[in-house]
Structure 1
Amino acid sequence: MPQMAPTIWLNMMFWMLIMVMILTIIIYFSSNTKTMESFLKSTKVETKKLSW
């Protein structure tokens, strides 16, 4: 059982890193208005809803 503890801790750290990476990517895209505009242009239906 003691051998299982470090693997669980490493797994938790691994998922925490993934979550942090996803959050940083979301923040990066939200901060960049140009990328957001291009993304909104690709989804034309959503741009109409947001513009009004």
Structure 2
Amino acid sequence: REHSLAKVPYMLVVGMREAEEGTVALRTLGEQQQRVLPLDEAIALLKDAATPPDLK
């Protein structure tokens, strides 16, 4: 909830299960559902989101 109030675009959660499976739970600002992704996919998604459009 705090990340929504602070307008943080992405929140990643790594619990024991995610750590064992090599995944992260990703919640995107404005979406109700969280997604569980492999760590490398989450990193690629965040890199893409952080790259300015003129550099893509």
- The alignment's TM-score, normalised by the length of structure 2, stands at 0.29
- The alignment's TM-score, normalised by the length of structure 1, stands at 0.31
Relative to total residues, which structure has the larger strand share, 1 or 2?
2
- Greater C-alpha Rg: 1
Relative to total residues, which structure has the larger helix share, 1 or 2?
1
